[in-house]
Structure 1
Amino acid sequence: MLMEITWRALFLQMSLYLAIAYENIALNKEAWERFPWKNIILGWGAQRAVDGRKSNLSASGGECTISAERKATAEWRVDLGEILNIYRIFIQHRTDELPWDAKNDHASRFLGFSVIVSNTTEKNDGVLCFKDKNFTLETIPNSINITCPIFARYVIFYNNRTNRPFPAGYSEYAYNELCELEVFGCSKFGYYGENCSIPWYEHCQLGLSDIKSGTRQSNIEGIEGQQCNKTHLLEIPLGDPDDLSSILYSFAPLFATLFVISFVINIIFTIRECRNKLRFKNQNKSKARNQQRVTADIDNHEKVDANTEYQELTEVKTTDNSIYDEIKL
């Protein structure tokens, strides 16, 4: 019983976590790269980096994007389909299933990369989220999370080997070897917050916002950035299912707290119930033993009484025989 409740609680907790977390808004979206591998039969195309698979990080695993060899630049991008609110970007690089250290050849190809977000397909029109200038073969992580709270449509991975001499450890050519690139944010335009449930305010400019707090740097009508999230809600039609789900999601922390409390109470009552059942079982065993002892005592008493009566009857017969003998004499 206790194990069943525990598994149910863990399942509900995981479901709640998934409900309130940012989702991967790049999953299975259209991807592109500048220099794809020439042999398309090998299946190393740009789409591999957004297929949701990263269990096999080798070239033969069919889960990684691999660009052409001997190129000075490497560029890859994913189209989110529309301008969306991004929070963070996750990158898993190719390892060929070998330890990720200075001896791994793919670490040298990862060094020096950049991540850019843009509303056009041109990286020069975008905003630089991250540029590696400090990692070495010994320190570059794999995988890596990059926090970049911003509105954008395209996420671009870029690397180059154009300005010699290169820093120590850098590969001679640029490569794109993404096994997975995930973009976490809100798939529903016009909302923010950790569960993407809070509607934006209509007087705020697009792209100058914080996805978690909703605070803007500026707005259309000159309202201060800190005041921007206090004026004029976007109008949502009454009865809109998205509105209902947003309201429900906004109560997620309360539901989580109530769930934890109810889970603890269920455990306490289950433990008490198990103890009561064990105590009742022990009491029944004790009663059964006592009943057996009483039954045995009664049987012993009955045997003793029967023997006594038999002995008394024997004595009476003996007396009668003695009297008869005396009369006979």
Structure 2
Amino acid sequence: MNQNLAFNKTVTVSQKYNNKDFDPSLAVDGDHSTDLLKCSLTASGQKEAWLTVDLGEEKNIAAIAFVHGGSSTLFANGNYECDGNEAVLRDCSHSSKQCFSGKRTSLTCKEGDTLAGISVCVSETPDWRTGTLCYQHDIEQPLNNTINLDCVTSGRYVTLFNSRNETYFPDLSAFAYINICEIHIIGCDIGYYGEKCTKCPDNCLNGNCHIQIGHCFDCKDGFKDDRCEKECNKECPCTRYGPNCNASCYKHCQHKLCNPINGSCLECIKSRSGDFCEIELPAEATFDTVSLFIAATTVLLILVVVFTLYTLKRKCMSSRQALARDYDASEVKPTDSKYDTLQEADRVGTDTAAEYMEITVITG
């Protein structure tokens, strides 16, 4: 079966409740009792609290389970927050809830859900914020004291974290507590998988594989398939290339198909081009955009044609008027001139009847 990787490992907390009770090691001692004095508990009056289990080295993790303290032989009514780090609960009176630690000290306890909102993270360093978030409880959802989580990942440090920063919910405790009676971290050493911690396939790259199903994350050169058990032939699978078929075709290749030698794409997905489909093409214009462009161009051409025709018509009319004026001037002036000549002939007594007849014909 999978090992409990947390058993008797080193545990640290944000701050101990006191120096006598609730030691962090109680979270990994194998005792599942929910008696408050057999559980770890962080200090009171804190807005943030955490508990971290150091597995000693990186491990393949499949699941995490923990039991939260919520009942006590001293206070059996449920989850409590207790103010006063100097209190020693073994000396507390069940009836008066008064405590003694060299001198009489008051221990004030209030009901409130201390587990709600808890987070579980797995990291490679003590800084759990840089790790993988396996679980985050919704404070508005009910939560049992025993939590079982699937958390398929790898890491060295497993951290339970809680806070009460700007948290306004009537059933919550005012302060953050980590009150863990026992934590199990289920998994195997790196390079092993499954319920029996079977060794990963020999040809997995770096000797590691999926903790649940044993599939390799990648293969050593010259091997392929989920478990890296098949040797690569000269002809690689359609979606891989290279001398050992250990490189995947580029994601922008159509159907991830590529040349088995150099990895160039046989065809690109839409909006891509280039040997490796590395060039992103500009987005194609939509039908509406094209239609709008055509309509605008058509209107503009019509306006140009209308303006041109109007200009030509104006020029044509101006030319006709000018020709008419020239014609009138050329026809009238000789007649008037000849009429004046006849008038002058009358004054001197010359016979002008024939000329008058000619003028009459012209002007008629």
Please state which band the TM-score falls in when normalised by the shorter chain: 0.5 to 0.7
User: Matched residue of 1:27: which SS?
Assistant: coil
Distance 1:131 1:156, change over 3 A: same
Find 1:58's aligned residue among 24, 35, 45. 35
Q: Which amino acid aligns with 1:213?
A: I
Contact 2:201 2:216 in 1 (8 A): no
Contact 2:10 2:54 in 1 (8 A): yes
Give the structure 1 partner of residue 24 of structure 2.
46
User: Matched residue of 1:48: which SS?
Assistant: helix
CA distance in 2, matches of 1:108, 1:95: 9
Q: CA RMSD in A?
A: 2.9
Higher strand share: 2
CA distance in 2, matches of 1:135, 1:111: 8
Give the structure 1 partner of residue 187 of structure 2.
185
CA distance in 2, matches of 1:212, 1:197: 10
Distance 1:36 1:85, change over 3 A: same
| Alpha-carbon displacement from aligned partner over 1:114-154 (angstroms, at most 9, x marks no partner) | 00001100012100000001553xx2112010110111111
Higher helix share: 1
Q: Which amino acid aligns with 1:211?
A: I
Contact 1:31 1:79 in 2 (8 A): yes
CA distance in 1, matches of 2:145, 2:20: 27
User: Matched residue of 2:66: which SS?
Assistant: strand
Q: Which amino acid aligns with 1:145?
A: N
Gaps of 5+ in 1: 1-20, 234-329
1:183: how far off?
0.4
For 1:138-177, what aligned pairs fall within 5 Å after superposition? 139-162=142-165, 164-177=166-179
1:206: how far off?
7.6
How many pairs were matched up?
199
| Alpha-carbon displacement from aligned partner over 1:24-61 (angstroms, at most 9, x marks no partner) | 11100011111112x3122x121110111122x1223x
| Alpha-carbon displacement from aligned partner over 1:165-218 (angstroms, at most 9, x marks no partner) | 4234221110010011110111x43111221123244443687x5212122455
| Alpha-carbon displacement from aligned partner over 1:200-248 (angstroms, at most 9, x marks no partner) | 44443687x5212122455676987xx2422489xxxxxxxxxxxxxxx
Give the structure 1 partner of residue 137 of structure 2.
132
CA distance in 1, matches of 2:122, 2:172: 24
Find 1:229's aligned residue among 204, 227, 230. 227
Gaps of 5+ in 2: 82-111, 232-364
For 1:237-276, what aligned pairs fall within 5 Å after superposition? none
Give the structure 1 partner of residue 211 of structure 2.
211
| Alpha-carbon displacement from aligned partner over 1:74-132 (angstroms, at most 9, x marks no partner) | 0110111111111111110002248xx99644761000000000110001210000000
Question: Bigger relative contact order, structure 1 or 2, given CA contacts below 8 A and separation 6+?
Answer: 1
User: Matched residue of 1:49: which SS?
Assistant: helix
User: Matched residue of 1:109: which SS?
Assistant: coil
CA distance in 1, matches of 2:207, 2:133: 18
Give the structure 2 partner of residue 71 of structure 1.
46
Give the structure 1 partner of residue 198 of structure 2.
197
Q: Which has the larger radius of gyration?
A: 2
Output the TM-score relative to the length of structure 2: 0.49
Distance 1:134 1:111, change over 3 A: closer
- Report percent identity of matched pairs: 29
